[in-house]
Amino acid sequence: MHSLSRRILPWLDQRCGAGALEEFLRRKTVPIHRHSLWYYFGGMTLFLFVVQVLTGILLLLYYQPTPEDAFESVQYIVTQVRFGWLIRSVHSWSANLLVFTAFVHMFSVYFLKAYRKPRELTWISGMLLFFVVLGFGFSGYLLPWNTLAFFATKVGTEMAGAVPFVGKWFLIFLRGGEEVTGATLTRFFGFHVAVLPGLATVLLAMHLLLVQHLGMSLPPSLERAIAEGRQPARSMPFFPNFLLRDIMGWYAALGVLGALAAVFPWELGTKADPFAAAPAGIRPEWYFLFMFQTLKLLPAKVFFLEGEFAGLLGFSLAAAVWVAVPFLDYRAGFGRVTRFFTGLGVFALGFILVMSALALR
Ligand code: HEM
């Protein structure tokens, strides 16, 4: 491995004048401990994001964002374009895996308390990225203009419309009017291929630069053990050791993705008919199910508030607490674990899992 780095780094330096890159790659290390596995999930999310960009650009060569042509253009991609079905299937499967790995990455950095000082901004840029990833999922779902997507978007935007205080404005902003129409499709297309990619690029650059600048964090208990001399600090070079392991993970992910996309090609369903009645059992995508189920279970009135309003108020407050956790869990400073916030994380994870399972019954 070291002979590999000895050959590649001078080559990079000669070709690209990459002295700074070489210096960076030489210096960067990754800590080794029993939770090191979780360090791979950020890179895995990044890999799936790149898959999304590449397959998304290919889909754009044929996709047409109008209610008259959207469904037919996707039908053309999956039936006429060579390997079009595979590209569409990979894009859809990879979107779901990306949300999943982003969830795992978020909860793992939460439980490892990687948000502690000085990584507050890394956490906040990560949270904003997470909202952008959910936005990609929500806006992309409507684009094929099929029955399921149309009615799920109706329900989803209705939920957005019940958000406290700004709901009505938000609903009109998302739909481009009172109803889900061609104007909604135009907006969702704009969000999906222009606004969100722009935001994601800026946030990703910020997130990754911060991670490089600050280095990887250590779990608090290990940090204390090292400081008290009870355990030695162990690490491995990022290049090539960690990167090669990363690449093995990406290769495995590509295998899983290819298998899923080929064996279970993503369904297209039937073209949306805005005048038809909503089919039974309309649900949002799996990553919004926990909210959907909670709102369903709430009574019509919670104290003096409408049930849906109270539920969304609760979710908005919970999201605000989650974003602000580096500032609230301020006692989780050097080597101190604050049990309350660990408990809060366990509760949040349990709540999401139980509510999603109830919705899938
Ligand atoms: C598109 C989404 C995301 C991408 C591509 C991404 C990418 C990465 C990468 C490559 C790393 C370094 C390796 C690692 O720790 O796994 C990292 C670290 C980190 N990420 Fe993310 N991330 C994303 C979303 C998030 C989210 C949702 C959060 C949490 C709110 C988050 C918080 C962090 C933190 C705190 C670190 C530092 C970890 C440490 O120092 O131990 N990231 N991210």
Q: How far is the CA of 126 from the centre of ligand 1 (A)?
A: 6
pTM for the model stands at 0.93
Query: Atom of ligand 1 at shortest distance to CA of 133?
Result: 1
One-letter amino acid at 72 equals E
Q: How far is the CA of 105 from the centre of ligand 1 (A)?
A: 6
| Backbone phi, psi, residue 306, to 5° | -60, 140
For residue 129 and ligand 1, the question of a CB distance below 6 A is answered with yes
H-helix or E-strand spanning residue 306: strand 305-306
Query: Atom of ligand 1 at shortest distance to CA of 41?
Result: 16
Q: Rounded CA gap, 327 and 116, in Å?
A: 8
H-helix or E-strand spanning residue 300: none
Query: Look-up: residue for tokens 């969702």?
Result: 188
For residue 216 and ligand 1, the question of a CB distance below 6 A is answered with yes
Q: What is the pLDDT along the chain (361 residues), one digit of tens a residue?
A: 566 667 766 666 666 656 788 888 889 999 999 999 999 999 999 999 999 999 999 999 999 999 999 999 999 999 999 999 999 999 999 999 999 999 999 999 999 999 999 999 999 999 999 999 999 999 999 999 999 999 999 999 998 898 888 999 999 999 999 999 999 999 999 999 999 999 999 999 999 999 999 999 999 989 989 999 999 999 999 999 999 999 999 999 999 999 999 999 999 999 999 999 999 888 899 999 999 999 999 999 988 888 999 999 999 999 999 999 999 998 776 666 788 999 999 999 999 999 999 999 8
The residue contributing the CA closest to ligand 1 atom 5 is: 46
Q: What is the distance between the terminal CA atoms of the chain, rounded to a whole angstrom? A: 50
SS3 18: coil
Structural domains of the chain ordered from first start: 32-282 (1.20.810.10)
Pocket test for ligand 1, best of 207, 287, 352 (most atoms within 8 A of CB): 207
Q: Report which DSSP code applies to 37.
A: G
The residue contributing the CA closest to ligand 1 atom 25 is: 126
For residue 219 and ligand 1, the question of a CB distance below 6 A is answered with no
Q: Rounded CA gap, 11 and 250, in Å?
A: 25
How many Cα atoms are found within 13 Å in the side-chain-facing hemisphere of 333? 2
Q: Report which DSSP code applies to 235.
A: E
Q: How far is the CA of 181 from the centre of ligand 1 (A)?
A: 37
